[in-house]
Amino acid sequence: MIGDCNIMDVKFRIATYNDVENIIALCDECFDEKTNLEYAKTVFKATEDDKNQIYLIGEKDGKVIAHTKITIIPTIYEDMNIYAILNHVCVKPEFRRSHIGTKLMDECFKIAKQRNCKCVELWSKNFRTAAHGLYHKYGFEVMDAKFFSKNVEE
């Protein structure tokens, strides 16, 4: 059974430009986003030297099976200090329940600690209840806040 993946067989690393196509395919599978590959490649290329934008992937047998984007945000505010935001946290469906999500979180926190982050935040859509289970189990707390969004009009 594919889901019985040995966590030791999964290698985590910072993504490169050559990984973009596989990241987009995984995110499309997990989130049904339909991101245009050329758009993704253009944005990745434009930001690949920004040390505060990190695309982390987990690979098994040369295939991307886990991913998240880590954005490090340094602030001038002492209470906030430096923090990280995770987005697009995902594990290929057939590899879920194999502790890969936990290992992905471990890797994120290792990077956050290296970068002197005070905390790590993430947001998750309400329908992703399985992911919420991982976040709660890992120690994330739901904050008393609402996530607001407004499109920027041209």
Residue 138 pLDDT > 60:
yes
pLDDT at res. 67? 97
- Tell which CATH classification among 3.30.70.360, 3.10.129.10, 3.40.630.30, 3.40.430.10 matches the domain 7-138: 3.40.630.30
Hey, where are the domains in the chain?
7-138
Which two structure tokens, joined as six digits, stand for 68? 């998240």
pLDDT in tens, 7-56: 678 999 999 999 999 999 999 999 988 999 999 999 999 999 999 999 99
